[in-house]
Chain A
Amino acid sequence: MSIEIRQLSKVYNPESDFPVHAVKALDLSIKQGEFVAVMGPSGSGKTTLLNMIGGIDSPTSGAVCIDDNDICLLDDKALIAFRRDHVGFIFQDYSLLPVLTALENVEFVMQLQGHSEQVCRQRATELLNQVGLTDQLHKVPAKLSGGQQQRVAVARALAPRPRFVMADEPTANLDAKSTSELLDIMQQLNEKEGTTFIFSTHDQRVIKRAKRVIVFDDGQLVEDKQQ
Protein backbone atom coordinates (compact mmCIF):
# COMPACT_ATOMS: atom_id res chain seq x y z
CA MET A 1 0.00 0.00 0.00
CA SER A 2 1.52 3.26 -1.07
CA ILE A 3 0.56 6.77 -0.12
CA GLU A 4 0.64 9.40 -2.86
CA ILE A 5 0.04 12.99 -1.82
CA ARG A 6 -0.61 15.41 -4.65
CA GLN A 7 -0.79 19.17 -4.40
CA LEU A 8 -2.19 18.87 -0.91
CA SER A 9 -3.23 22.16 0.71
CA LYS A 10 -4.98 23.09 3.89
CA VAL A 11 -6.19 26.57 4.71
CA TYR A 12 -7.71 27.33 8.11
CA ASN A 13 -10.27 30.12 8.25
CA PRO A 14 -10.17 30.77 4.49
CA GLU A 15 -12.96 33.36 4.69
CA SER A 16 -11.35 35.43 7.42
CA ASP A 17 -8.91 38.34 7.13
CA PHE A 18 -6.06 36.10 8.27
CA PRO A 19 -6.33 32.73 6.60
CA VAL A 20 -3.73 30.23 7.85
CA HIS A 21 -2.02 28.21 5.11
CA ALA A 22 -1.03 25.22 7.25
CA VAL A 23 0.01 22.97 4.33
CA LYS A 24 0.93 24.39 0.94
CA ALA A 25 0.67 22.40 -2.30
CA LEU A 26 2.58 19.42 -0.97
CA ASP A 27 3.69 16.50 -3.15
CA LEU A 28 4.96 13.43 -1.33
CA SER A 29 5.00 9.69 -1.74
CA ILE A 30 5.47 7.08 0.95
CA LYS A 31 5.93 3.38 0.23
CA GLN A 32 4.74 0.39 2.25
CA GLY A 33 6.99 -0.41 5.20
CA GLU A 34 8.72 2.94 5.53
CA PHE A 35 9.66 4.42 8.91
CA VAL A 36 9.24 8.14 8.35
CA ALA A 37 9.74 11.08 10.66
CA VAL A 38 8.13 14.39 9.82
CA MET A 39 10.19 17.05 11.49
CA GLY A 40 9.69 20.76 11.86
CA PRO A 41 9.15 23.58 14.31
CA SER A 42 5.90 24.03 16.16
CA GLY A 43 3.21 25.44 13.90
CA SER A 44 4.85 24.19 10.71
CA GLY A 45 1.84 22.04 9.81
CA LYS A 46 2.96 18.55 10.90
CA THR A 47 -0.24 17.75 12.78
CA THR A 48 -2.40 19.04 9.95
CA LEU A 49 -0.53 16.90 7.43
CA LEU A 50 -0.74 13.74 9.52
CA ASN A 51 -4.44 14.26 10.20
CA MET A 52 -5.16 14.57 6.48
CA ILE A 53 -3.16 11.44 5.62
CA GLY A 54 -4.97 9.55 8.37
CA GLY A 55 -8.35 10.69 7.10
CA ILE A 56 -9.49 12.49 10.23
CA ASP A 57 -9.25 15.92 8.63
CA SER A 58 -10.07 16.98 5.08
CA PRO A 59 -7.80 19.07 2.83
CA THR A 60 -8.84 22.34 1.22
CA SER A 61 -7.53 21.04 -2.09
CA GLY A 62 -5.36 18.26 -3.45
CA ALA A 63 -5.48 14.50 -3.05
CA VAL A 64 -4.35 11.79 -0.67
CA CYS A 65 -4.27 8.59 -2.69
CA ILE A 66 -3.93 5.25 -0.97
CA ASP A 67 -3.31 2.59 -3.62
CA ASP A 68 -4.69 5.00 -6.24
CA ASN A 69 -7.90 5.69 -4.32
CA ASP A 70 -8.32 9.28 -3.24
CA ILE A 71 -9.55 9.07 0.35
CA CYS A 72 -10.65 12.68 0.22
CA LEU A 73 -13.45 11.60 -2.10
CA LEU A 74 -14.79 8.94 0.24
CA ASP A 75 -18.07 9.58 2.02
CA ASP A 76 -18.28 9.66 5.79
CA LYS A 77 -19.10 6.02 6.21
CA ALA A 78 -16.44 4.72 3.83
CA LEU A 79 -13.87 7.00 5.44
CA ILE A 80 -14.64 5.63 8.90
CA ALA A 81 -14.32 2.08 7.59
CA PHE A 82 -11.04 3.04 5.91
CA ARG A 83 -9.64 4.37 9.15
CA ARG A 84 -10.86 1.39 11.10
CA ASP A 85 -9.27 -1.15 8.78
CA HIS A 86 -6.16 0.56 7.44
CA VAL A 87 -4.95 3.30 9.78
CA GLY A 88 -3.60 3.03 13.31
CA PHE A 89 -3.43 6.17 15.41
CA ILE A 90 -1.08 6.99 18.25
CA PHE A 91 -1.94 10.26 19.94
CA GLN A 92 0.28 12.59 21.91
CA ASP A 93 -1.99 12.32 24.97
CA TYR A 94 -2.35 8.49 24.55
CA SER A 95 -6.18 8.79 24.39
CA LEU A 96 -6.88 5.44 25.99
CA LEU A 97 -10.36 4.74 27.29
CA PRO A 98 -10.02 5.34 31.05
CA VAL A 99 -12.58 2.74 32.12
CA LEU A 100 -11.05 -0.13 30.16
CA THR A 101 -7.98 -2.16 31.12
CA ALA A 102 -4.92 -2.21 28.88
CA LEU A 103 -6.07 -5.51 27.40
CA GLU A 104 -9.63 -4.28 26.80
CA ASN A 105 -8.37 -1.08 25.19
CA VAL A 106 -6.47 -3.13 22.64
CA GLU A 107 -9.26 -5.68 22.10
CA PHE A 108 -11.82 -2.96 21.63
CA VAL A 109 -10.50 -1.73 18.27
CA MET A 110 -10.46 -5.28 16.95
CA GLN A 111 -14.03 -5.81 18.11
CA LEU A 112 -14.99 -2.82 15.95
CA GLN A 113 -13.75 -4.85 13.01
CA GLY A 114 -15.97 -7.74 14.06
CA HIS A 115 -13.34 -10.25 15.13
CA SER A 116 -14.34 -12.98 17.55
CA GLU A 117 -13.61 -12.54 21.23
CA GLN A 118 -11.02 -15.28 21.10
CA VAL A 119 -9.12 -13.77 18.18
CA CYS A 120 -9.15 -10.34 19.85
CA ARG A 121 -7.92 -11.73 23.16
CA GLN A 122 -5.10 -13.64 21.52
CA ARG A 123 -3.78 -10.83 19.35
CA ALA A 124 -4.15 -8.20 22.08
CA THR A 125 -2.25 -10.35 24.57
CA GLU A 126 0.45 -11.05 21.99
CA LEU A 127 0.90 -7.36 21.16
CA LEU A 128 0.96 -6.29 24.80
CA ASN A 129 3.63 -8.93 25.40
CA GLN A 130 5.63 -7.48 22.53
CA VAL A 131 5.48 -3.97 23.97
CA GLY A 132 6.61 -5.36 27.34
CA LEU A 133 3.40 -5.07 29.31
CA THR A 134 2.86 -8.75 30.10
CA ASP A 135 2.31 -7.94 33.77
CA GLN A 136 0.03 -4.94 33.24
CA LEU A 137 -2.70 -6.48 31.08
CA HIS A 138 -5.47 -5.91 33.60
CA LYS A 139 -4.54 -2.45 34.79
CA VAL A 140 -6.53 0.62 33.81
CA PRO A 141 -4.60 3.50 32.19
CA ALA A 142 -4.57 5.58 35.38
CA LYS A 143 -2.51 2.81 37.04
CA LEU A 144 0.15 2.91 34.29
CA SER A 145 3.00 5.35 33.70
CA GLY A 146 2.97 7.65 30.67
CA GLY A 147 5.47 5.44 28.87
CA GLN A 148 3.40 2.35 29.58
CA GLN A 149 0.19 4.05 28.44
CA GLN A 150 1.84 5.05 25.19
CA ARG A 151 2.95 1.43 24.70
CA VAL A 152 -0.66 0.33 25.16
CA ALA A 153 -1.56 2.93 22.53
CA VAL A 154 1.03 1.44 20.17
CA ALA A 155 -0.43 -2.02 20.72
CA ARG A 156 -3.91 -0.63 20.10
CA ALA A 157 -2.79 1.07 16.89
CA LEU A 158 -1.26 -2.17 15.62
CA ALA A 159 -4.04 -4.52 16.70
CA PRO A 160 -6.34 -4.17 13.67
CA ARG A 161 -3.33 -4.87 11.39
CA PRO A 162 -3.38 -1.43 9.75
CA ARG A 163 -1.25 -0.74 6.71
CA PHE A 164 0.11 2.39 8.25
CA VAL A 165 0.33 4.01 11.66
CA MET A 166 0.11 7.74 12.19
CA ALA A 167 1.76 9.06 15.33
CA ASP A 168 1.62 12.78 16.07
CA GLU A 169 4.46 13.59 18.46
CA PRO A 170 4.11 10.24 20.22
CA THR A 171 7.03 10.90 22.55
CA ALA A 172 6.25 14.52 23.44
CA ASN A 173 5.12 13.59 26.95
CA LEU A 174 7.72 10.88 27.58
CA ASP A 175 11.09 10.96 29.31
CA ALA A 176 14.30 9.90 27.52
CA LYS A 177 14.16 6.27 28.65
CA SER A 178 10.51 5.76 27.71
CA THR A 179 11.12 7.52 24.39
CA SER A 180 13.95 5.16 23.51
CA GLU A 181 11.92 2.10 24.57
CA LEU A 182 8.93 3.24 22.54
CA LEU A 183 11.09 3.72 19.45
CA ASP A 184 12.59 0.25 19.88
CA ILE A 185 9.08 -1.18 19.95
CA MET A 186 7.88 0.83 16.96
CA GLN A 187 10.95 -0.19 14.99
CA GLN A 188 10.49 -3.87 15.84
CA LEU A 189 6.85 -3.81 14.77
CA ASN A 190 7.76 -1.93 11.62
CA GLU A 191 10.24 -4.65 10.71
CA LYS A 192 8.19 -7.61 11.91
CA GLU A 193 4.74 -6.66 10.61
CA GLY A 194 5.84 -4.45 7.71
CA THR A 195 3.59 -1.68 8.96
CA THR A 196 4.38 1.81 7.66
CA PHE A 197 5.06 4.29 10.45
CA ILE A 198 4.70 8.01 9.95
CA PHE A 199 5.41 10.12 12.98
CA SER A 200 5.94 13.78 13.64
CA THR A 201 8.45 15.07 16.14
CA HIS A 202 10.88 17.83 16.90
CA ASP A 203 12.97 15.64 19.14
CA GLN A 204 16.48 15.06 17.73
CA ARG A 205 16.79 11.66 19.44
CA VAL A 206 13.67 10.45 17.66
CA ILE A 207 14.79 11.83 14.32
CA LYS A 208 18.08 9.92 14.54
CA ARG A 209 16.14 6.65 14.66
CA ALA A 210 14.05 7.29 11.56
CA LYS A 211 14.97 5.76 8.22
CA ARG A 212 13.57 8.69 6.32
CA VAL A 213 13.27 12.26 7.54
CA ILE A 214 10.98 14.80 5.98
CA VAL A 215 11.75 18.32 7.09
CA PHE A 216 8.78 20.58 7.07
CA ASP A 217 8.60 24.31 7.56
CA ASP A 218 5.75 26.74 7.13
CA GLY A 219 3.60 24.13 5.40
CA GLN A 220 6.24 23.25 2.83
CA LEU A 221 8.67 20.40 2.36
CA VAL A 222 12.19 21.69 2.88
CA GLU A 223 14.17 18.48 2.86
CA ASP A 224 13.52 14.78 2.25
CA LYS A 225 16.41 12.52 3.15
CA GLN A 226 17.01 8.79 3.67
CA GLN A 227 19.36 7.83 6.47
Chain B
Amino acid sequence: MSKLAGVKGIHEIAIVLNESNNMDNHVAKQLAGQLSLLSDSGNRVRDWQQVQPMLATIISQMGASNAVILIIFVSAMGFGIVNVMLMSVFERTRELGMLMAIGMVKGKVFSLIIMESTLLGVTGATIGLLASLMLVTLLGHTGIPLGSMAQGLGAFGVDTTLYPTVSANEYVAVFVTVVLVSILASLYPARQILKQRPVDAMSHKH
Protein backbone atom coordinates (compact mmCIF):
# COMPACT_ATOMS: atom_id res chain seq x y z
CA MET B 1 0.00 0.00 0.00
CA SER B 2 2.69 2.42 0.98
CA LYS B 3 4.69 1.33 -2.08
CA LEU B 4 1.75 1.86 -4.36
CA ALA B 5 0.93 5.27 -3.02
CA GLY B 6 4.53 6.20 -2.60
CA VAL B 7 3.87 7.45 0.89
CA LYS B 8 6.18 6.77 3.76
CA GLY B 9 5.00 5.89 7.24
CA ILE B 10 1.43 5.96 8.57
CA HIS B 11 -1.09 8.10 6.78
CA GLU B 12 -4.34 7.17 8.57
CA ILE B 13 -5.27 5.99 12.03
CA ALA B 14 -8.80 4.69 12.72
CA ILE B 15 -9.93 4.61 16.30
CA VAL B 16 -12.82 2.29 17.17
CA LEU B 17 -14.59 3.22 20.38
CA ASN B 18 -16.04 0.43 22.47
CA GLU B 19 -19.11 2.23 23.67
CA SER B 20 -20.40 3.76 20.54
CA ASN B 21 -24.04 4.67 20.52
CA ASN B 22 -25.28 5.24 16.97
CA MET B 23 -25.92 8.97 16.74
CA ASP B 24 -24.83 10.15 20.12
CA ASN B 25 -21.13 10.21 19.35
CA HIS B 26 -20.15 13.02 21.65
CA VAL B 27 -17.41 10.78 23.04
CA ALA B 28 -15.99 10.48 19.53
CA LYS B 29 -16.31 14.25 19.03
CA GLN B 30 -14.62 14.92 22.36
CA LEU B 31 -11.82 12.55 21.47
CA ALA B 32 -11.48 14.13 18.04
CA GLY B 33 -11.23 17.54 19.66
CA GLN B 34 -8.54 16.43 22.09
CA LEU B 35 -6.60 14.62 19.35
CA SER B 36 -6.57 17.60 17.00
CA LEU B 37 -5.15 19.72 19.85
CA LEU B 38 -2.39 17.17 20.44
CA SER B 39 -1.46 16.38 16.83
CA ASP B 40 0.44 18.42 14.26
CA SER B 41 -1.46 20.99 12.34
CA GLY B 42 -1.01 18.96 9.13
CA ASN B 43 -3.25 16.18 10.47
CA ARG B 44 -7.01 16.14 10.32
CA VAL B 45 -9.13 14.45 12.94
CA ARG B 46 -12.71 13.61 11.95
CA ASP B 47 -15.47 11.63 13.62
CA TRP B 48 -17.42 9.07 11.57
CA GLN B 49 -20.29 11.40 10.80
CA GLN B 50 -17.91 13.66 8.98
CA VAL B 51 -16.32 10.76 7.16
CA GLN B 52 -19.67 9.25 6.11
CA PRO B 53 -22.21 12.10 6.05
CA MET B 54 -24.65 10.08 3.90
CA LEU B 55 -24.77 7.15 6.32
CA ALA B 56 -25.21 9.61 9.17
CA THR B 57 -28.25 11.14 7.45
CA ILE B 58 -29.79 7.73 6.72
CA ILE B 59 -29.42 6.66 10.32
CA SER B 60 -30.85 9.90 11.67
CA GLN B 61 -33.93 9.45 9.45
CA MET B 62 -34.43 5.91 10.63
CA GLY B 63 -36.26 6.93 13.80
CA ALA B 64 -39.02 8.66 11.81
CA SER B 65 -39.51 5.84 9.32
CA ASN B 66 -39.53 3.28 12.13
CA ALA B 67 -42.29 5.24 13.84
CA VAL B 68 -44.40 5.27 10.66
CA ILE B 69 -43.99 1.52 10.20
CA LEU B 70 -44.82 0.94 13.87
CA ILE B 71 -48.01 3.01 13.58
CA ILE B 72 -49.11 0.99 10.54
CA PHE B 73 -48.47 -2.29 12.33
CA VAL B 74 -50.16 -1.22 15.55
CA SER B 75 -53.32 -0.03 13.74
CA ALA B 76 -53.49 -3.27 11.75
CA MET B 77 -53.21 -5.16 15.04
CA GLY B 78 -55.85 -2.88 16.59
CA PHE B 79 -58.36 -3.64 13.83
CA GLY B 80 -57.64 -7.34 14.23
CA ILE B 81 -58.32 -7.18 17.96
CA VAL B 82 -61.50 -5.13 17.51
CA ASN B 83 -62.74 -7.67 14.99
CA VAL B 84 -62.04 -10.62 17.27
CA MET B 85 -63.68 -8.91 20.26
CA LEU B 86 -66.83 -7.94 18.35
CA MET B 87 -67.18 -11.50 17.14
CA SER B 88 -66.47 -13.14 20.46
CA VAL B 89 -69.10 -11.02 22.23
CA PHE B 90 -71.76 -10.91 19.51
CA GLU B 91 -71.62 -14.64 18.84
CA ARG B 92 -72.73 -15.13 22.43
CA THR B 93 -75.71 -12.78 22.23
CA ARG B 94 -78.20 -15.63 22.75
CA GLU B 95 -76.34 -16.96 25.74
CA LEU B 96 -76.07 -13.51 27.31
CA GLY B 97 -79.77 -12.92 26.59
CA MET B 98 -80.54 -16.18 28.36
CA LEU B 99 -78.50 -15.04 31.38
CA MET B 100 -80.55 -11.84 31.54
CA ALA B 101 -83.76 -13.85 31.16
CA ILE B 102 -83.01 -16.13 34.09
CA GLY B 103 -82.21 -13.16 36.28
CA MET B 104 -78.59 -12.09 36.02
CA VAL B 105 -78.47 -8.34 36.60
CA LYS B 106 -77.07 -6.21 33.81
CA GLY B 107 -74.10 -5.05 35.86
CA LYS B 108 -73.01 -8.65 36.29
CA VAL B 109 -73.48 -9.47 32.61
CA PHE B 110 -71.43 -6.39 31.79
CA SER B 111 -68.56 -7.31 34.10
CA LEU B 112 -68.70 -10.85 32.74
CA ILE B 113 -68.13 -9.54 29.21
CA ILE B 114 -65.35 -7.19 30.30
CA MET B 115 -63.62 -9.85 32.38
CA GLU B 116 -63.70 -12.32 29.51
CA SER B 117 -62.32 -9.75 27.10
CA THR B 118 -59.54 -8.86 29.51
CA LEU B 119 -58.67 -12.51 29.91
CA LEU B 120 -58.70 -13.01 26.14
CA GLY B 121 -56.50 -9.92 25.68
CA VAL B 122 -54.02 -10.95 28.39
CA THR B 123 -53.80 -14.51 27.08
CA GLY B 124 -53.36 -13.38 23.49
CA ALA B 125 -50.77 -10.76 24.38
CA THR B 126 -48.82 -13.21 26.55
CA ILE B 127 -48.70 -15.91 23.90
CA GLY B 128 -47.81 -13.37 21.21
CA LEU B 129 -45.05 -11.78 23.25
CA LEU B 130 -43.57 -15.13 24.29
CA ALA B 131 -43.48 -16.21 20.66
CA SER B 132 -41.84 -12.96 19.59
CA LEU B 133 -39.38 -13.13 22.48
CA MET B 134 -38.32 -16.58 21.34
CA LEU B 135 -38.04 -15.52 17.70
CA VAL B 136 -36.10 -12.35 18.50
CA THR B 137 -33.73 -14.21 20.84
CA LEU B 138 -33.12 -16.85 18.20
CA LEU B 139 -32.49 -14.29 15.46
CA GLY B 140 -30.34 -12.31 17.87
CA HIS B 141 -28.02 -15.32 17.93
CA THR B 142 -28.14 -16.39 14.29
CA GLY B 143 -28.67 -12.96 12.83
CA ILE B 144 -30.65 -12.13 9.70
CA PRO B 145 -28.33 -12.22 6.69
CA LEU B 146 -29.42 -9.51 4.28
CA GLY B 147 -27.26 -11.07 1.58
CA SER B 148 -27.22 -9.54 -1.87
CA MET B 149 -30.08 -7.19 -1.01
CA ALA B 150 -27.78 -5.11 1.09
CA GLN B 151 -24.48 -5.14 -0.72
CA GLY B 152 -24.68 -1.38 -0.84
CA LEU B 153 -24.57 -1.30 2.93
CA GLY B 154 -21.36 -3.27 2.88
CA ALA B 155 -19.83 -0.40 0.96
CA PHE B 156 -20.60 1.84 3.92
CA GLY B 157 -18.77 -0.54 6.17
CA VAL B 158 -22.00 -1.80 7.75
CA ASP B 159 -22.45 -5.47 8.59
CA THR B 160 -24.91 -7.17 6.21
CA THR B 161 -26.21 -9.43 8.96
CA LEU B 162 -28.90 -7.92 11.25
CA TYR B 163 -29.14 -8.82 14.92
CA PRO B 164 -32.61 -7.70 16.05
CA THR B 165 -33.23 -6.62 19.62
CA VAL B 166 -36.45 -5.57 21.36
CA SER B 167 -36.29 -3.70 24.64
CA ALA B 168 -38.33 -4.63 27.68
CA ASN B 169 -40.11 -1.28 27.44
CA GLU B 170 -41.37 -2.11 24.00
CA TYR B 171 -42.74 -5.45 25.22
CA VAL B 172 -44.57 -3.75 28.07
CA ALA B 173 -45.98 -1.09 25.74
CA VAL B 174 -47.32 -3.71 23.31
CA PHE B 175 -48.82 -5.77 26.15
CA VAL B 176 -50.62 -2.78 27.65
CA THR B 177 -51.86 -1.65 24.23
CA VAL B 178 -53.26 -5.09 23.37
CA VAL B 179 -55.08 -5.48 26.68
CA LEU B 180 -56.47 -1.93 26.58
CA VAL B 181 -57.67 -2.26 23.00
CA SER B 182 -59.35 -5.58 23.88
CA ILE B 183 -61.26 -4.03 26.75
CA LEU B 184 -62.24 -0.93 24.79
CA ALA B 185 -63.34 -3.04 21.82
CA SER B 186 -65.71 -5.09 23.98
CA LEU B 187 -67.51 -2.04 25.40
CA TYR B 188 -69.49 -1.44 22.22
CA PRO B 189 -70.93 -4.97 21.78
CA ALA B 190 -71.56 -5.16 25.54
CA ARG B 191 -73.67 -2.01 25.38
CA GLN B 192 -75.53 -3.19 22.29
CA ILE B 193 -76.50 -6.44 23.98
CA LEU B 194 -77.45 -4.98 27.35
CA LYS B 195 -79.72 -2.47 25.64
CA GLN B 196 -81.86 -5.27 24.18
CA ARG B 197 -84.71 -7.04 25.92
CA PRO B 198 -83.86 -10.66 26.76
CA VAL B 199 -86.28 -12.01 24.10
CA ASP B 200 -84.61 -10.02 21.36
CA ALA B 201 -81.14 -11.04 22.47
CA MET B 202 -82.22 -14.67 22.65
CA SER B 203 -83.79 -14.67 19.19
CA HIS B 204 -80.52 -13.33 17.77
CA LYS B 205 -79.39 -15.44 14.82
CA HIS B 206 -75.75 -16.33 14.51
Contacts and interface: CB of A to CB of B under 8 A. Distances in A.
Interface of A: 51, 54, 56-58, 76-77, 80-81, 83-85, 87, 89, 91, 95, 97, 109, 112-113, 156, 160
Contact of B103 (A51, A91, A95, A109): A109
6 contacts: A56-B101, A58-B197, A76-B106, A84-B104, A89-B101, A112-B104
B146 to A, nearest CB: 49
Contacts of B106: 76, 80
Nearest to A48: B199
Q: Is the interface of B mostly helix, strand, loop or mixed?
A: helix
B94 A95 contact: yes
A51 B199 contact: yes
Given A56-B198, A56-B199, A57-B197, A83 B98 contact: no
B47 interface: no
Nearest to A95: B98
Contacts of B94: 95
A83 B101 CA distance: 7
Contacts of A97: 95
Given A56-B199, A57-B197, A112 B98 contact: no
Contact of A85 (B103, B104, B105): B103
A57 B100 CA distance: 12
Contacts of A76: 106
A97 B97 CA distance: 12
Contacts of A109: 102-103
A80 B103 contact: yes
A150 B138 CA distance: 54
Given A80-B106, A113-B103, 15 more contacts: A56-B198, A57-B199, A58-B197, A80-B100, A80-B105, A81-B105, A84-B102, A84-B103, A89-B102, A95-B98, A97-B95, A109-B103, A112-B102, A112-B103, A112-B104
Interface in B191-205: 197-199, 202
B148 to A, nearest CB: 54
Q: Which of B94, B101, B103 has the most CB of A within 10 A?
A: B103
Interface string B94-134: 11001011111110000000000000000000000000000
A100 B105 CA distance: 19
